[in-house]
Amino acid sequence: MIDNSFIELSSNQNQNIKRVRKLKRKKYRDEFQEFILEGIQIIEAAINMSGNIKEVYISEEVHKQENIERIIDLFDERADKYLLEAELFAEISETVNSQGILAVAEMKTCSLDNLIDLEGPILLLAGLQDPGNAGTLIRSASAAGFAGIIALKGTVDIYNPKVIRASMGGIFDLELIKNVDIKDLNKKFINSKRRMIFAEPGAAKPYYDFVFKENDILTIGNEARGLSNEIYELEHESISIPIKGNIESLNAAMAGTILIFEMVRSF
């Protein structure tokens, strides 16, 4: 319910409004360690998965909708709540048909050491560029019970709003680390219990003949270029998904999801 715990904002010169607008850019997301959630479904998922929501912004135009009121009741008292005129809300919104609700959440931080030490498989995003693909893979890894996600430098920002949306809350369910340098990964990886598994269209070994282990790291490369030479030099096992039709390849998110579920079926 909208009550006096809501602060009304009407100026686009307000400091909060300015900051939310900045969060549309990766540079400021990294600087503030915060990101935007937009829409009922993803905000509800964040609450259910104990995502750390700092602020919520509601458009005056929609605040009496039943499903918005239901969500507002879910926020704990630590979240600051703001009510915005419709025009002002439009300035911070990134979606065309906005549902009139947007939240700012804090990034979880996890060190590479901690992530490598966890039990369970890890998904390594190595240069993936499409936010829908990255988000979908995070959703699949979460559904499969993976331990975490590592995103290498040069991968789409996993806090990009489109990634967040496609992850359907998976972003809050997993340990994450981004902007990882391949050299640091190499150092941690040596002497660790983890093997690197590369998904490669041309690899001789089909995925269904490969015996996965519980702490394997599944690596998915760039949609067009695959894996870089630098990654290639890491010790690894290569597997492929055999293609039986005339089509050239699978979508990266599809290929990744097939392998993610293959990895966990035996555990």
Residues that bind a copy of itself (CB under 8 A): 45, 48-49, 132, 136, 139-146, 166, 168-170, 173-174, 208, 241, 243-251, 253-254, 257-258, 261, 264-265
Give the residue with the Cβ less far from a copy of itself, 133 or 155.
133
In the complex, the smallest distance separating the C-beta of residue 214 from a copy of itself, rounded to whole angstroms, is 12
In the complex, the smallest distance separating the C-beta of residue 63 from a copy of itself, rounded to whole angstroms, is 24
Q: Quote the CA–CA distance of 155 and 158 in Å, as a whole number.
A: 8
* Structure token pair of residue 10: 């009407």
232: left (phi over 0), alpha (psi -120 to 50) or beta: alpha
In the complex, the smallest distance separating the C-beta of residue 58 from a copy of itself, rounded to whole angstroms, is 24
Q: What is the DSSP letter of 207?
A: G
* CA nearest neighbour of 195 among 121, 88, 94: 121
Give the residue with the Cβ less far from a copy of itself, 190 or 224.
224
Give the residue with the Cβ less far from a copy of itself, 4 or 246.
246
* Structure token pair of residue 151: 């995103």
130 within 8 A of 58, measured Cβ to Cβ: no
Give the residue with the Cβ less far from a copy of itself, 64 or 70.
70
Q: Quote the CA–CA distance of 35 and 164 in Å, as a whole number.
A: 9
In the complex, the smallest distance separating the C-beta of residue 25 from a copy of itself, rounded to whole angstroms, is 21
- Whole-number Cα distances in Å, 58 to 15, 75, 84, 95: 16, 13, 6, 14
Q: What is the DSSP letter of 222?
A: B
CB atoms within 10 A of CB 114: 12
In the complex, the smallest distance separating the C-beta of residue 235 from a copy of itself, rounded to whole angstroms, is 27
Give the residue with the Cβ less far from a copy of itself, 112 or 250.
250
Residue 131 CA to its chain's centroid (Å): 9
Give the residue with the Cβ less far from a copy of itself, 59 or 240.
240
**Which residue is it, tokens 């990895």?**
263
In the complex, the smallest distance separating the C-beta of residue 35 from a copy of itself, rounded to whole angstroms, is 18
Residue type, 21: R
103 pairs with which residues across the strands? 37, 56
Give the residue with the Cβ less far from a copy of itself, 23 or 47.
47
In the complex, the smallest distance separating the C-beta of residue 208 from a copy of itself, rounded to whole angstroms, is 5
